[in-house]
Amino acid sequence: MAALWWRRRRLPGAAGLCRTARALSGKPEYDLLVIGGGSGGLACAKEAAQFGRKVAVLDYVEPSPQGTKWGLGGTCVNVGCIPKKLMHQAALLGSALKDAQRYGWNIAHPVHHNWSEMAQAVQNYVKSLNWGHRVQLQDKKVKYFNVKGSFSDPHTIRGLTKGGKETILTAEKIVIATGGRPKYPTHVAGALEYGITSDDLFWLKESPGKTLVVGASYISLECAGFLTGIGLDTTVMMRSIPLRGFDQQMASLVTEYMESYGTKFLKKCIPTKVEKLESNRLHVTWKNTDSGTEEADSFDTVMWAVGRAPDTKALNLEAVGVKTNSETGKIIVDASEATSVPHIYAVGDITEGRPELTPTAIAAGKLLAQRLFGQSSELMDYDNVPTTVFTPLEYGCVGLSEEKAVQCYGSDNIEVYHAFYKPLEFTVAERDATQCYMKMVCLREREQRILGLHFIGPNAGEVIQGFALGIKCGATYPQLMKTVGIHPTCAEEITKLHITKRSGLDATVTGC
């Protein structure tokens, strides 16, 4: 009796420690505990709950170095795909206003864009999604904890609230889905103090003004593209190549169009320091690695887009033996998303060798839950995953790049069909279509199976999504040639591809 009295008296006072009777009994409180409330984690948790399992989700957003924070839903909802696509749409509308005059619309001049109004509308929509995710969890009886989780032992998570209150949670199985956060080049003086990242851009209340975007990733080019499109003086600083990992011919066309669109590029340049002037502007110094010269300019905003790092620091993975890649910091998983600890799994951007894409994280999370609780054995297939870069002229692709196809099969064993085309919408508007281009990479022998499809032009994501099904199903070049196109569309040009790179013939489409 005395022992029971001592336990009851001691527990509440231990730094806000909260344990349930079930946890104390030695039986795990939850069947599944998901650390991370982003796309993959939420999908896994909700799917597991459908099988009648007791599920909890832990999610906590560490504010960015500039103090930006957001709600439930992860990177995609709050500081990624959703606000990015909406701001990209704002920029496309600006271009449409210019086109409209050629189509007979009288547009009052000058036309101005209001950043604050756009940002508020985008942020309001994002907040509605945050609320929607919380409602969905409640409806599916998934317990949500707004705490920062870390491993105490292989089945126990220590959760810490913003106010320092501690919660101990135990689970039979644990899924890590904490995603990644933008990197800062800490070796550059002033980078952390004065720069922002994509974690901050979408939540700025005032216009970023004249902006320098450092990096050549898709995040960098997408953000620079819509900033240019809404009328801001925007410069991209590139150390080496654009869109590393993507087809480089397509990447070059994307940046060429951006330059013609008004985005400035500083190529082969690396920043060395950022200083704040009395005017509050940022004086950036950089080195041109080709010429060796030092150059400088002043900007209102400097945004770093130099890569992302897995968000693992607070997890205490080493304490439970979860292995990570020493170079990338990402969690090593097998084909079933299992880590080096049998009952601990990981999905999404935090996993080594997986595409950093929302739809793959969602699919992987759902399939994992089905294998754990639904007697399924289906694994996530990461081959032929389509994606799109939402630059001013969009780039969509599925399958292998031309370089990767050559590397895998040899240049003599692949055939590349290609075409430069002009969207009908560009004709009356007299818009330049020099970079509107598509190519299909096929095996040369036998049935000419399609290895990759690449498309630059309007609505690239919508175009590639449909063709992705065919390529996933093993479509061949002859099959595609039997497909009747929808006229007049950009996508129909894919069904008419007939000129090969090998032939050396002009690949410009003529006629309608």
Distance CA 233, CA 209 (A): 7
Distance CA 39, CA 365 (A): 8
Among 10, 40, 79, residue whose Cα is nearest residue 356: 40
* Residues with active-site annotation: 487
Binding-site residue positions for NAD(+): 215-222, 307
Neighbours of 46 (CB within 10 A): 21
Q: What is the dihedral of CA 54, 58, 59, 63, to 10 degrees?
A: 170
Distance CA 385, CA 397 (A): 9
Among 507, 442, 512, residue whose Cα is nearest residue 479: 442
Among 180, 186, 149, residue whose Cα is nearest residue 324: 180
Is the preceding omega at residue 488 within 30 degrees of 0, hence cis? yes
Among 78, 50, 57, 91, residue whose Cα is nearest residue 175: 57
Binding-site residue positions: 85, 149, 215-222, 307, 349
Q: Residue 451, SS3?
A: strand
- Going by their DSSP bridges, the two strands 282-288 and 166-176 should be labelled as unpaired
**What DSSP character marks residue 378?**
P
Residue 405 makes CB contacts below 8 A (sequence gap 6+) with 414, 441, 451, 452
